[in-house]
Amino acid sequence: GAVVSQHPSRVICKSGTSVKIECRSLDFQATTMFWYRQFPKQSLMLMATSNEGSKATYEQGVEKDKFLINHASLTLSTLTVTSAHPEDSSFYICSATRGLTGNTIYFGEGSWLTVV
């Protein structure tokens, strides 16, 4: 079946540095991918919608310059957390839709980011 893969699954970085998380659709083309953030014991919060070949659409309250999203190909979207701070530590999950109506959604395994 269709699989969405995230890398890395866990990453630790120092404050002030940037870290990139990749989201790949392994056997299908995903024109749209989504990035979610989940704090411990909380729900998933949609951060942005990543569209191949165009700028991402960010949800209200999400800093565009801090969370850079690039969807350069139909199988890859990247989330870069710039100038990371400890409060950016979180579980980041991507998803990709298959089909125009998005009625088939696949989630990546998630990436744990710890900023020290």
Partner 1 sequence: AQSVTQPDIHITVSEGASLELRCNYSYGATPYLFWYVQSPGQGLQLLLKYFSGDTLVQGIKGFEAEFKRSQSSFNLRKPSVHWSDAAEYFCAVGGVNTGGFKTIFGAGTRLFVKA
User: Which residues form the interface with partner 1 (CB under 8 A)?
Assistant: 32, 34, 36, 41-46, 49, 51, 57, 93, 95, 97, 101-103, 105, 107-110, 112
* Cβ nearer to partner 1, comparing 17 with 63: 63
Minimal distance, residue 85 CB to partner 1, in Å: 22
* Cβ nearer to partner 1, comparing 17 with 64: 64
* Cβ nearer to partner 1, comparing 84 with 93: 93
Q: Please, are residues 50 and 71 in contact by the beta-carbon 8 Å criterion? A: yes
CA distances from 89 to 12, 23, 100 (A): 9, 18, 33
Minimal distance, residue 65 CB to partner 1, in Å: 19
